[in-house]
Amino acid sequence: MIIVQKYGGTSVADLDRIRNVASRVKATRDAGNKVVVVVSARAGVTNRLIADAKSLAEHPDSRELDMLASIGEQETIALTAIALHSMGVPAVSRTGAQVGIKTDSEFTKARIVDITGGDLNKQLDEGKVVIVAGFQGVTDDGQITTLGRGGSDLSAIALAKAVNADVCQIYTDVDGVYTADPRVVKDASKLNEISYDEMLELASLGSKVMQARSVEFAKKHNVVFEVRSSMNNNPGTIVKEEVASMEDVVVRGVAADKNQTKVVLLGLNDQPGTAAKIFNALGKANVNVDMIVQNVGRDGIANMTFTVPTDDAFKAEKAIDSIKDDIAAKNFRTMTDRVAKVSVVGIGMRSHSGVAADLFTAFANAGINIQLISTSEIKISVAVEVEKADEAVRVAHAAFGLGQA
């Protein structure tokens, strides 16, 4: 088999952990596999480099930041190859440029446009383990780029596609994807498999296992991957295209995002175009809006509520303030309040009705007040008091029978 393994910064944080990674890679190769390893920078290295850059210039040039940051992974690939050699394993390191991870020129957040693979297959055929620097690529004119947050996962999935790998393993510090955060829900259980769409909803809903872009890339190119721990040999969670049997499970998992702020606009002018003006202004300010509710107007006055990430709340208020004269009726006011967004996710919802009713009933029985609701084809999200978030997750988790058998 051809296996791609990705190890993050914590897994290669020091020389002992690099040896540990090398041992795992050796075991995989000794079992008769061709192995491509993707590694991140050692934990803390990238941050130190960026801090140096920022102490030289308030806003360092993004091209130079990529030139700088990319050395973190280059350090790890060489050290990992050397560790493998010391165990008698033939191995060779490759930068992103050397395996032809071609990107656009959006430095610090480049997008992969193509992967040539360089001499990857040749090296694998010669029995060598190839250690590739994650997180980095190269433009058509030879400039070094980085892929932004979660970039090494993306490198691994893209390389799995390029070498037509049988297995792509994303090693991390958790055992896989859980039905809920095990720190919140004691009987949360690890999922054996999950569909791309479910994983995408969980990623965007505050379950921090992987960035959505890597999952999107995997879905687009149909790369099956596994999220698993580098600290043990437990099987992890397989992420793949949905199969019919997945629909038997109505709710796959429950996630909570506690960094949401509810923005309430009272006393709006109830005329066509008011909503458009509001969301145009928010869009221009790069505010990510979610969970919109507009109340039916009375006497020409309407109210509107939506949520934004708490980091964007101030920007949102400023944007609203800038168009106040255009949208305000009598007694216009803006109110903000921190909320938590609790979501249940499952592709089974497409073919099962009554999920929302079951969820709302469970919350009502537990005395949890629902402030806002938004739904998609495979997800129901509700905004609740931040203080009630953990309880709401536990209630939802129990309501859909997600606990360990």
Q: How far is the CB of 134 from a second copy (least distance, A)?
A: 15
Least Cα distance to 73 among 157, 22, 131, 150 occurs for 131
**What gap in Å lies between CA 127 and CA 206, rounded to an integer?**
40
- Is residue 3 a contact residue for a second copy (CB under 8 A)? no
Looking at the chain, the number of H-run helices and the number of E-run strands are 12, 18
User: Which residues in the 126-155 window bind a second copy by CB under 8 A?
Assistant: 141-142, 144
Report how many residues bind a second copy under the rule CB under 8 A: 39
Residue 366 tokens, joined = 């537990």
**Residue 65 interacts with a second copy (CB under 8 A)?**
yes
Cα–Cα distance, 389 to 374 (Å, whole number): 16
**Site for a second copy contains 307 (CB under 8 A):** no
114 in contact with a second copy (CB under 8 A): no
**The one among 3, 35, 77, 130 contacting a second copy by CB under 8 A:** 77
Answer for the pair 102, 138: CB distance below 8 angstroms, yes or no: yes
Q: Stretches 90-98, 238-246, 294-302, 322-330: which one binds a second copy (CB under 8 A)?
A: 90-98
Query: Helix 274-284 to helix 313-322 angle, to the nearest 10 degrees?
Result: 130
Taking CB under 8 A as the binding criterion, the range among 52-60, 145-153, 170-178, 317-325 that sits at the site for a second copy is 52-60
208: tokens are 């921090």
| Helix 389-399 and helix 355-365, axial crossing angle in degrees, nearest 10 | 130
Q: Is 396 in the site for a second copy (CB under 8 A)?
A: no
In angstroms, give the least distance from the CB of 60 to a second copy. 5
The sign of the dihedral angle between the CA atoms of 140, 145, 148, 153 is: positive
Q: Which of 30, 31, 44, 86 binds a second copy (CB under 8 A)?
A: 86
Residue 199 binds a second copy, judged by CB under 8 A: no
Distance between CA atoms of 4 and 90, rounded to whole angstroms?
16
Q: Contact residues for a second copy (CB under 8 A)?
A: 15, 18-19, 49, 52-53, 55-58, 60-61, 63-65, 67-68, 70-71, 74-75, 77-79, 81-83, 85-86, 92-93, 95, 97-98, 118-119, 141-142, 144
